[in-house]
Structure 1
Amino acid sequence: MKKFSRTTRTLTAAAAAVVLTVSLGACGGGGGDSAASGDGNLRFSWWGSDPRHVANQEIIDLFEAENEDITIEGEYSDFGGYWDKLATTTAGRDAPDVITMDEKYLQEYAGRGALADLSTLEGLDTSKFDEASLALGQYEDGLYGLSTGQNAYVLMANRDLFEQAGMELPDDTTWTWDDYYRISAELSEKLGGDIVGTDYGAQDVDLRIWLRQHGENLYNDDEPGTVGYSPENATAWFEHLLEVRDGGGPSAARYTEEMSGSFEAGGFATNRAAMGWYWSNQLSALRTASGSDVTMLRVPSDSGSASENGMYYKASMYWSISSQSDDQQAAAKFVNFLANDPAAAKKMLVDRGVPANPDMAAAIAPELDENDQTVVDFLDEIRPDMAEPPLPSPVGAGGVQDMVKRYVSEVLFDKLTPEQATEQMTAEIEGMISAG
């Protein structure tokens, strides 16, 4: 069995975005002549936790056993280091052939010509994917990412820590942000020591959901190059994070330490936080890492109505193919295996979300353990209250996630007021997406 090659973090995300911006113009796009058959040597990249790495290698082994003329080398890292590495390898014309892509970066890479148009490649069958799933991977008139499945951003709760504190789980169909603050503070007080009531929900997706609860969006789809929110609501989000910090959340120092650490070393994964913000497909990995009884909760809202909490289904990830690949036919064959073969689906289960291909969802149903079935059931349970998903992030927005984290850190350390952070963040976001 071949060894995984670990990537390392060589650039900040902002620097990587600059490299990507100035370098990809020469990449070219679509299938083009490079779609011709090459030597069958492929590289496949992804991010994630150890169980995903093991499953991916098993998938590679299955595919290679059926396709002796194709060899695949796996490359993986943590989420942050993944994008730094991908930006530099793409700029250096050494990108992996098959790329695990995220919504935040899909249009960034497609818009710069770094991805092949999947709809032009022979051997990749997308007929089982409905129009809504395919639309999530489109840019202009092409298909640059094939959805691996759907998930939702949720609040994870550690039942064991709630029980240790002598507290009941909240009713997540009716709870408000005030309930969340109160419960977090009470958990911190009762558990004491190094255990806090909640981790921060302090990423761009958290800001997105907060804005959606107030009828706004992170990006303005009607006026490209501008944000879709008012300063008041963004400022209120930063104030909300200060409420978390001062009422039961981690210190600013612990926040920055955990943001730079691994998934398994996070406060929630190590039983040092009773609540934490994650994607639904991470439930199994969190239960494994923590060894605790972890459950999923809906996001709180101002009104206490689940239908107004701003949650949405997101394409968990995408399969993409580099426009630089010298064997796009082989790459398309491997993506077709990932998307349409029951053997591959049974290795992935719901780690990349509930499969977007309904045949694959049916194939894995008998294979699901309690963790995976819990995810499927929860996503079905919340369906009546889910709103339409936002459009993929615009070109230029690839560095917004790290930029938001930076402003969160400045606010938590009291280096910027919420108003100052909002003003500077907004100017920076608009500079990034207008340049795109």
Structure 2
Amino acid sequence: MKTQRKWLKWLPVTLISVPLVLSGCGSNSGGSAATASTAPAASSAGNADAAAKLKVMWWGSQARHDATLKDLELYTSKNPNVTFAPEYTAWDGYWEKLPTLAASNTLPDVLQMDAAYIQGYAKRGLLADLSDIDLSGVVDSQVLENIKIGGKVYGVPLSYNGQGIVYNKEALEAAGVKLPANDWSWDDFFAYAKEAHEKLPEGQYGIDDMTNIWEFYQYYQTSQGKGPIFKDGTTFNLDKDTWMKFQQIYADFRKDGIVPAADQQLSFKENDPQLDSMASGKVMLRTASVGSASVIESLLPGKLGVNNIPIGEAGGGWAQSTIFLSVSEGSANKEQAKAFIKWFVSDKESGKTLGLTRGIPINEEVFKELEPTLASGDLFAKELLEAAKPKALPFYPAPAGAEDFVKTYKSEMEAVMFGQATLEEAYQTLLDKGKDAEAKLNK
């Protein structure tokens, strides 16, 4: 159940110095970096038909780069007045360069954005309002509502992401354990963990110990209607009673051997054929993102089922886009950029060219065009998405400036796992760190 840790790699530091999410859950994979002309876009009249050379910038893998370049060529073949100056790199290089461009007022016309960063860029007035792009029939209305910032759309979502549960259906059925059912509650989840402990062979566990993963606790808190740990991206909101209740359950699970011992838990490595908690046969259920589901499916083909994150009165988990195309506020070609973005997400030929290089397309019609050609792992990821969507809450990444809190949460809760700190001590440390982060965020 360590998929959430991928988002730790994506957590922003600041918009001035940004070494780091999810997405992306987009892609933080490497790939040969390449750049084209970085000259400012030519100025043009404020209409979509005027000639323009759009500077476009994105991060991703080589497969994404190649597909996007072909897509830009396709657009120009259909719209000869619009050409492109593309710039692309891997995840780290992208977020190292973008703040520099922002500081010098030379952001590209069209730029790829991630959920962990878009709020900060929008609040600083760096992104244009895209609310006037008509996305009806292209993007689900609830998806658009979830990604609004201050009631406005600053990035058109490109693909779905989300978090769900994957479980070893074959092994659980063999042991006679009741299988998870969609829309299960947290009480159901904890009851499953206890039953799995009673019925599974020695050395196997129903769930991981995710005490040290702040996102997983946040799923619990938000499902109870208490809001995210950083409400509105600024206010520290770790609800003590809710946190203590959740952590005490896991403390009891450690004492009773219902979850792996701390040293074993921390030795697991997600999606490694030998060291993944599930692929190794040690744990029967863990979380997975839509973006990574195909990997675990390939390690245990035909053996897995999917389910949503446990829910509470407010819902649970998340399922939405975490990767966007935005337009810089300083662009001289806003209307042409908006027209391009709408085509990018709605045109079926564009969708075929891009494939799944940015995940499951946000446009269901585009996905249907691709579906007959998809591998079993890709279809499994779509199945996970569909399980996660009905009761999903918005995605709540840690805001820029909260990196010390995130690091402290992990280290402090690992101390709890090893019996080196009490829950009261850990809570006080987290409270202090959270308040420090809040002070920085409100400057």
**TM-score of the aligned structures, taking structure 1 as reference length:** 0.69
Cα offset, 1:316, TM superposition:
3.1
CA deviation profile, 1:138-165 (whole Å, cap 9, x unmatched): 3336533222344442221123443565
How many pairs align? 390
User: Which residue number corresponds to residue 14 of structure 2?
Assistant: 17
Q: Give the CA deviation at 1:287.
A: 0.9
Alpha-carbon offset, residue 199 of structure 1: 3.0
CA distance in 2, matches of 1:279, 1:15: 19
**Bigger shift: residues 241-250 or 345-354:** 345-354
The residue type paired with residue 44 of structure 1 is: W
Q: Secondary structure at the match of 1:144?
A: coil
Q: Kindly indicate whether the alpha-carbon contact (under 8 Å) linking 2:42 and 2:53 is maintained by their aligned counterparts in 1.
A: no
Match of residue 121, structure 2, among 109, 112, 134: 109
Q: How does 1:94-173 map to 2 (within 5 A)?
A: 100-113=112-125, 115-117=126-128, 119=130, 126=135, 128-140=138-150, 142-162=152-172, 167=177, 169-171=179-181, 173=183
The change in CA–CA distance for 1:346 and 1:402 in structure 2 (over 3 A counts) is farther
Residue segments in structure 2 that go unaligned for 5+ positions in a row: 1-7, 19-38, 44-51, 78-82
Of stretches 319-328 and 238-247 in structure 1, the one that deviates more from structure 2 is 319-328
Residue of 223, 226, 235 corresponding to 1:226? 235
For 2:59, the aligned partner's letter is S
Secondary structure of 2:296's counterpart equals helix
Alpha-carbon distance, 1:17 to partner: 3.4
Q: In structure 2, how many angstroms separate the alpha carbons of the residues matched to 1:214 and 1:141?
A: 24
**Alignment-derived partner of residue 351 in structure 2:** 345
Aligned partner of residue 314 in structure 1, secondary structure? strand
The answer to whether the 8 Å contact 1:159/1:294 transfers is yes
Q: Which residue of structure 2 lines up, in the alignment, with residue 236 of structure 1?
A: 245
Matched, 1:360 2:371: no
- Secondary structure of 1:210's match? helix
Mapped partners of 2:333, 2:423: distance in 1: 47
Asked whether the 8 Å contact 2:160–2:320 carries over to 1, the reply is: yes
Pick the aligned partner of 2:197 from 179, 185, 203: 185
The separation in 1 between residues aligned to 2:234 and 2:197, in whole angstroms, is 39
The CA distance in 1 between the partners of 2:318 and 2:360, in whole Å, is 11
Considering fraction of residues, name the structure with more helix.
Answer: 1
Unaligned runs of 5+ in 1: 1-10, 22-32, 47-52, 301-305
User: Do the aligned partners of 1:186 and 1:197 also contact (CA within 8 Å) in 2?
Assistant: no
Contact residue 17 and residue 398 of structure 1 kept, 8 A:
no
Encode CA deviations 1:3-53: one digit per residue, 9 max, x unaligned: xxxxxxxx99889338549xxxxxxxxxxx96646876644214xxxxxx4
TM normalised by structure 2 equals: 0.68
Select 1:418's aligned residue among 395, 419, 423. Answer: 423
2:64 maps to 56
Matching residue of 1:50 = none
Partner letter of residue 237 of structure 1? Answer: F
Kindly indicate whether the alpha-carbon contact (under 8 Å) linking 1:185 and 1:197 is maintained by their aligned counterparts in 2: yes
Shift of 1:56: 2.0
Q: Is the 8 A contact 2:67 2:357 kept in 1?
A: no
Q: What is the CA–CA distance in structure 2 between the aligned matches of 1:15 and 1:130, rounded to whole Å?
A: 27
Call closer, same or farther: CA 1:332–1:243 in 2, change over 3 Å: farther
SS at match of 1:104: coil
Task: Tell me how far apart the structure 2 counterparts of residues 348 and 238 of structure 1 sit (CA, whole Å).
Answer: 43
1:427 partner letter: D
Which amino acid in the other structure matches residue 17 of structure 1? T
- Kindly provide the CA deviation profile for residues 180-207 of structure 1, in whole angstroms up to 9, marking residues without a partner as x: 33245357x6163xx6543344533312
Query: For residues 60 and 410 of structure 1, do their structure 2 counterparts lie closer, same or farther at Cα, with a shift above 3 Å needed?
Result: same
Structure 2 equivalent of residue 75 of structure 1: 89
- What is the Cα deviation at residue 315 of structure 1? 1.9
Q: Secondary structure at the match of 1:60?
A: helix
1:220 to partner: Cα distance: 6.7
Counterpart-to-counterpart distance in 1, 2:254 and 2:130:
47
| Shift of residue 320, structure 1, vs aligned partner | 3.7
Tell me which amino acid in the other structure corresponds to 1:227.
F
Percent of paired sites with the same residue: 19
CA distance, structure 2, for counterparts of residue 292 and residue 421 of structure 1: 41
Q: Secondary structure at the match of 1:190?
A: coil
Deviations 1:199-218 (A, max 9, x none): 34453331222113433122
Q: Helix, strand or coil: the match of 1:217?
A: coil
Change over 3 Å in CA distance of 1:289–1:144 after alignment to 2: farther
Q: Cα offset for 1:63? A: 1.3
1:406 is aligned to 2:417: no
Amino acid at match of 2:262: A
* Cα distance in structure 1, aligned partners of 2:63 and 2:281: 25
Does the 8 Å contact 2:247/2:423 carry over to 1? Answer: yes
Note if 1:294 corresponds to 2:311. no
Alignment check: 8 A CA contact 1:316 1:353 kept:
no
